[in-house]
Each structure stands twice: as structure tokens, then as C-alpha cells.
Amino acid sequence: MDRGFFIDGEWRKIKGSDVFPILNPATGQRIGSTALGTAETIDQAVNVASLAFPKFSKMSANERAEILLKAADNIELAADKMAELLTKEQGKPKADNLKEIIFGAEVLRYYAGEATRIYGSIRPASSPNIRNLVNYHPVGVAGAIVPWNYPIDLYCWKIAPAIAAGCPIIVKSPHETPLAITMLVDCIHQAGMPNGCLADIPGLGPIAGDALARHPKIRILSATASIAAGQSITRASAGNLKKLCLELGGHAPFIVMPDADLKEAAMAAHRRSFSNMGQICITVNRILVHNSCHKEFVSILEELTTNTIVGDGLDKEISYGPVLNSSVSDRVQNQINDAISKGGRLISGGFKPTEKHLINGNFFRPTLIDNTPLDSLPMIEESYGPLAAIASFETENEMLEIANGLEYGLAAYIYGNDLEKVWLLAENLDFGAIGINVNDTSELQAPFGGWKMSGVGRELGPEGLMSYLEPKHLKMKLGNK
């Protein structure tokens, strides 16, 4: 599949566009390519969307909800083929991709309902003949930057509230994994999305992403990216003060209290550390274990990790696939080397497998380092790969100091059977979401986003919709008395 851009209701290939090849990370084979958008491509899409905005913003909430509901149905019908294509370009096992795609459809359905619940209000007034009416209006043309790790799911997180609010949206889709997105775009367009109200332009962040951030007609930009990319977006957006919703990654601690169910905690830590080969913003980076149970917990987790089978995600028996490309494995190897050089102990993984059926792919063994020095790279920088670093703690204050000691603040996890204690500890963790005896912090009806350098704004929940709306106050005088 060799794809172009979706602008004004049609797929286009613009002459002279640079082309990026798409390789299957499990085999190294070329499976397609994508054209790469430029500032001119972005400008073309934004101008079309600006012309479509007045009519789209005046559509009834029920009409926009119907588009979202039909699109969700279309996605579910295409889910199997979409999941297979996504596995070929991104590497996640097909079963995981099916979950991603189905959840994306549920996001569309959720915001179809929220579209009909954009309520106004009458506020108290300082005078008996004054009425204060507050209502909400779509902010304008929206922009979105979608990452390669969960491209379908996070695409839906961004476009669903925009459509519900009445905002046309220009999406810079990931140039690394743009193929399954073509099917998603077709599902939405065929659901009745008006021409010009959705554009899809794969491209490089410093070029297409920067153009979105700088464009004066883009009034809100939602991006899932690294902290460095988020800082660049913020600087580029400053010229026209557009609204920003930035989810900028994390460095999640996984805390094991002395009374935790160690087997349950180890299984949860293993899955959250190595699902999608750790290429998740809420993946477990640091495992902090109380001294009293450190040895037993590590023994269980080491066995799980060593016995993990990796392979081509199209194999139904495989739950752990390749990393996206060599830059991921190179970064992980660099962090491993740094930790070991400072006194850490490698207890599982740490190498590329050499089996014949894996050698051509971007595979890397899930890796554990125990007694990891707190100043080593795995403990201070996001790995975004199959690496979990373990350290122990003695007191709760020591644990909180370690957990809260970085600039990241997206997600954290804490396991323990004394719920009163872990609840209180969770309230002292400086993160946007805390998983208490659960290893996933995302929930459709709850806000998702980070504290500190992990971002600004929120996605999902009612908060996700409000990002695309502006309040308007109407102050009205009744009569002359």
C-alpha cells in the first residue's frame, strides 16, 4: 500500500512529495510507503477546513452524533483487517491491535453521547433584572498529532471530541505507522463526515507538526508526543496563543508494598512493563519494592520475564512482538549499559534474540535490571522500550521521594492490601492518574493526562470534550426597572 493525503473528502498524491518506506518490524520487509506532508500541504488542508467550519459548527448535535455512531459501526466491521495491517506496520500482536481498534470505536460512541450533553446554564446575577446565560461554542479548526504506538486508538481520542464539538480537524498522522489509519479515515468519511472537516496528513514532526503548531487558523492543537516535542509545539504555538492539549509521556513508578499479593503484583508489572514492548506512555519504567519482599517479588518477576516468548504478532500464540525500529533497541541498550556500569545487576534479557525466525526483525528480549542505581538512565529517562528497572525502599517517605523525584507525572501504580494506606499514599503521588492494585490508568469516562512535564490538558471523559469548546457569556437586561 502506497498512500497519500486525505484532503477535502478525497485521497490525493501531491506531485513532488517526499516518500517514507514502511517496513514490517517483525520481518524487515517493505509493506508500503507514505507521502510526507509539508507546510504547504498543511496550509491547503487548513484552508479547506476553515471554509467548512461555519456549516459544520451549525450542524445539530444529533447529526454529528450520528456520524460518530456510524463511524464506530464501520470500524468494528473493518477491525479484523485493520488489526492485521496495523500489526504488519507497527508490530503489536494482532489481538492487542483488535483491542485498540475496538476501544477506538467505543471512544467514538462515547463522544456521540457527549455531543448531545453540551449544556448551558443561567448564572446568578447582581441585579434582579439581569440574566447571565453561559453557553459553549466550538473553538474552531483543530489540529492533532498522533503517535505511532497506538495510532488508531489515539486518533479516535482526538477526532471524536472535535467532531462532537463541531470542530473540523487536521491530523498529522505518524509517518511510521500510517497504513491502517487509511482504513480508519475511510470508515469516518463513509459515515457522512462532510468534506473538508477531516484531513489526514502523515509527516515529520519538525515539518508537518511544526506547521500545524504555527498555523494561525488552527485554534486548538492536541498532541501525544515526547516532552521535547511538546516544548517545541508550545514555542511554535505561542505566536497565536492557540489552545493546547499535550500528553507528553511518562516514567511510571510501580510500587510494591510489603503486604501486596506478590504474584498478582509481579504479573501486573510484567504485563505493564512489556506490553507493546514497553512502547507505551504509561508503561512501567521503575519498579520500587519494599525491602521486606524485594527478593521474593524479583524472583517471581524474573521467571515471568525470562519465560516470555517474543515473535511475529500475526502468530496467534504470540503476545509480545518486535519493537518498532532499531532506534528503540539502541536506546534501551544504551540505558542497560549505563545502569550496569553504575552497579545495576542484569537479571533477564538485555540482548537481541538470535533465533533464525527472529533475526531479520527488530526484536529485543524483555529486560530486567535489579538494584538499579537511582542516578542511572533507566531510573531518570523514559526507556520507551522493553526495559524495567528495579530498586528497593525501606520507608514510605523514601518511596515517595523517589517516585515523585522526576519531572514526569503521567501515571503511577501501587500494589498493597491495606487500602486505607495505599489510598493515602496515592494521594501523595504527583501523577495525573494512579492505578491502585490495577495496572492500567486509562478509563473512557475519566480524564487522561499528566502533571508537571508530562503535559497540559486532558483527553477522555467530559474534560476531553471541553477542550474543543469555548464558553460564551450573554449578559442581558430585562426591562428598565
Question: pLDDT-derived band of residue 481, with 50, 70 and 90 as boundaries?
Answer: low
Mean pLDDT of the region 404-432: 98
The CA distance from 5 to 429, in Å, is: 43
Which positions are annotated as active-site residues? 247, 281
435 pLDDT more than 90:
yes
Four-point Cα dihedral 403, 407, 413, 414, nearest 10:
20
pLDDT at residue 310 tops 70: yes
- 378, amino acid identity: P
CB distance 410 to 432 below 8 Å: yes
Q: Which of 181, 196, 142 is nearest to 4 (CA)?
A: 181
Q: Is the pLDDT of residue 295 over 70?
A: yes
**Is residue 376 pLDDT above 70, yes or no?**
yes
Mean pLDDT in the chain? 97
For position 456, what pLDDT does the model report?
97
**Cα 188 from Cα 169, distance rounded (Å):** 12
Average pLDDT over residues 311-329: 97
Residue pointed to by grid coordinates 497565536: 240
Kindly write down the DSSP assignment for every residue of 177-221, as one continuous string: S-HHHHHHHHHHHTTTPPTTSEEE--B-IIIIIHHHHH-TT--EE
Buried-state track 116-143, b at ≥16 Cβ within 10 A, e below 16: eebeeeeeeeeeeeeeeeeebebbbbbb
Give the pLDDT of residue 468. 98
pLDDT of residue 14 exceeding 90, the answer is: no
Gap between the Cα atoms of 26 and 10, Å rounded: 32
Judged against a pLDDT cut of 90, whether residue 347 lies above it is answered with: yes
Percentage of residues of the chain with pLDDT beyond 90? 98
Asked if residue 87 lies in contact with residue 425, where contact means CB atoms within 8 angstroms, the answer is no
User: Using 50, 70 and 90 to split pLDDT, how confident is the model at 479?
Assistant: confident
**pLDDT reading at 10 higher than 70:** yes
Q: How far apart are CA 237 and CA 231, in angstroms?
A: 10
Contact predicate 393/58, CB 8 Å: no
Measured distance CA(230)–CA(457) in Å, rounded: 12
